[in-house]
Structure 1
Amino acid sequence: MPADLAVVAAAGPLAARLARPPAAGIALHWLGQAGFVLRSARRTVVIDPYLSDSLAEKYRGSARPHIRMMPPPVDIAGLGAVDLVLSTHQHTDHMDPGTLRPLAARHPDLRFVVPRAARAEAMTRTGTLEDRLVLLDAGETAEPVAGVRITAARAAHEALERDADGCHRFLGYLIEMEGVRVFHSGDTVPFEGQAEEVRALAPDIALLPVNGRSAGLLAAGVPGNLTLAESVALGAAAGVPAVVAHHYGLFDFNTADPADIDALAATAGPLRLLRARTDRDLVLTARP
């Protein structure tokens, strides 16, 4: 049975909201791009946080300088206690050394769930040893901390790619906490069998990118994602009750129009489409 979903207007800055754990279920907060915080009364899980200007520093003076369209909604200290960080792949807006290294230093017991194919890069970007990494490949499940179960799924950031050992370079994750099941697809385009795989995970909600893709961006080394229409179609085909549209509003050369998301949300049919926003939170509670 799907979890109950409530949309809650933001009461104060994100740091203040993170200091108030939900009484039941989990609260879902957007960090911008593909980043989210999942928080229960017992655990805080962070997915793909990009809270620095690493990419602006890397691409300063280039044709695409990666200047932020929105500031980070919270800083490292404002995240509070963090139990687990998930990175879906090693692109910097998903595995950011400017965010992960300070988090690792601030929380000595913090563990990082990463694709097995990104093991070496994850150690470099977190500044930690392998014993703090939880290495997963598609189809594998782990419970890195009590009360949080993670299942990895395939993702295709333009294509399904494997490393020399056959491990998938791009992953999505199903996160199970407090009886609620949240699916984060990672960066992905449609691929054969995708809807069936997501349906088998039976998520209560899916966090899906909507910035799309183009031949021009791919030629410039910028791989793409699902379009808004494709994200809605995937959610519907997989039988997901609600989809949160994200991966927009950070870089002006690779975004989606919020007005388009809101317009489609008004006509999405039985699927509930929500636009990720920093001025509101989602609260999901398992039904008895």
Structure 2
Amino acid sequence: MNARRLTWLGQASVLLDVGGLRIAIDPYFGEHPARLYPPGDAAPVASSVDAILVTHEHLDHFDPTFIRQAAVSRHVTLLVPTPLLDRASALGADVTGVQPGDRVTLAPGVEVAVLPAWHGLTLADGYAEGRDAQGHARFLGYVVVADGLTIYHAGDTIVTPELVAAASQEHSDVALLPTNGRDAQREAAGIVGNMDGREAVEFAAIIGARTLIPLHWDLFAGNTSDPQDVVTVAEAHGAGAPAVVVPVRDASFEL
């Protein structure tokens, strides 16, 4: 069996080494004045990645500069929400627009299932699927199935009954979930939030994930949270709670 490894790059950026492929989900190496730490070195990732999965078009999830850099040196498969297809097509990767319910085979034995997500480009359209004029959803999650393991990256989302139903069908072993939450103060600043730690633990338990990895809690001033709160909630949850693994930025661990 191939090595199964996860590397967290900060925020929602994750590298998966599964099925003989290196898959980057929401890789982001861009500069931003609100960043709490500088971007990492994109070059080693760009030169080694086989596939890039983009959950939505917010700048910390869709990084055109990195995608173009990766596609220069090697063949890169790129999955994006269909409304992003025009922008992504100019980046040099082998791009496919996808929607909830789609399934894509990246290589023999490596499959990606596409799930919905509920977010917003702004608060004006917040906490919805973000349908464009053609009815295509802007916000997605991805389930990667390889090497006997099912890994769910939820993108940015709150928990809805529809999401619970869709995610429950995938029987994920590992759930990578945003845990920065949402509140009136951040929404007053125009920040569209996500599920919080308690919601993430309950959601992971409902969908049957044995491991929960908190994401999206460390990058931007004014939009952080403490991942240890997720650990505390899981410990208090009791039977059925997932094991919470708090990732260390730029560190890898076996799945």
TM superposition score normalised by structure 1: 0.79
Do the aligned residues in 2 keep the contact of 1:43 with 1:83 (CA within 8 Å)?
yes
Partner of 1:116: 82
> 1:122-133 residue pairs with structure 2 within 5 A?
122-124=88-90, 127-128=91-92, 132-133=94-95
CA distance in 1, matches of 2:190, 2:141: 21
User: What are the superposed Cα offsets for residues 127-163 of structure 1, whole Å, 9 maximum, x if unpaired?
Assistant: 237xx10211000101133332111010001222211
Return the match for 2:50 from 69, 78, 83: 83
C-alpha displacement at 1:106, in angstroms? 2.6
> 1:1-288 residue pairs with structure 2 within 5 A?
24-40=2-18, 42-53=20-31, 56=32, 65-66=33-34, 68-78=35-45, 80-107=47-74, 109-124=75-90, 127-128=91-92, 132-157=94-119, 158-269=127-238, 270=240, 271-278=242-249, 280-284=251-255
1:260 is aligned with what amino acid? Answer: D
Partner of 2:122: none
C-alpha displacement at 1:199, in angstroms? 1.1
CA distance in 1, matches of 2:45, 2:105: 26
User: What are the superposed Cα offsets for residues 84-127 of structure 1, whole Å, 9 maximum, x if unpaired?
Assistant: 000000111000123222112232x1111111121123235xx2
User: What are the superposed Cα offsets for residues 49-89 of structure 1, whole Å, 9 maximum, x if unpaired?
Assistant: 11221xx1xxxxxxxx32x2234454322554211000000
CA distance 1:155–1:205, change in 2 (3 Å): same
* Structure 2 residues without counterparts, runs of 5 or longer: 120-126
CA RMSD of aligned residues (A): 2.0
C-alpha displacement at 1:264, in angstroms? 3.2
Once the two structures are aligned, what percentage of the paired residues are identical? 33
Question: The residue matched to 2:161 in structure 1 has which SS?
Answer: coil
Do the aligned residues in 2 keep the contact of 1:26 with 1:178 (CA within 8 Å)?
yes
Question: The residue matched to 2:97 in structure 1 has which SS?
Answer: strand
1:169 is aligned with what amino acid? Answer: R
* Structure 1 residues without counterparts, runs of 5 or longer: 1-22, 57-64
CA distance in 2, matches of 1:216, 1:166: 31
2:113 is aligned with what amino acid? Answer: T
C-alpha displacement at 1:217, in angstroms? 2.9
TM superposition score normalised by structure 2: 0.88
C-alpha displacement at 1:37, in angstroms? 0.5
2:107 is aligned with what amino acid? Answer: V
Question: The residue matched to 2:6 in structure 1 has which SS?
Answer: strand
2:8 is aligned with what amino acid? Answer: W
Do the aligned residues in 2 keep the contact of 1:209 with 1:246 (CA within 8 Å)?
yes
CA distance in 2, matches of 1:117, 1:41: 29
User: What are the superposed Cα offsets for residues 183-235 of structure 1, whole Å, 9 maximum, x if unpaired?
Assistant: 00110012122222111011111100001112343343321111111111111
CA distance 1:144–1:41, change in 2 (3 Å): closer
Name the count of aligned residue pairs. 246
Tell me which of the two structures has the higher relative contact order, counting C-alpha pairs closer than 8 angstroms and 6 or more residues apart: 1
1:198 is aligned with what amino acid? Answer: A
CA distance in 1, matches of 2:204, 2:228: 20
CA distance in 2, matches of 1:128, 1:280: 29
CA distance in 1, matches of 2:191, 2:43: 27
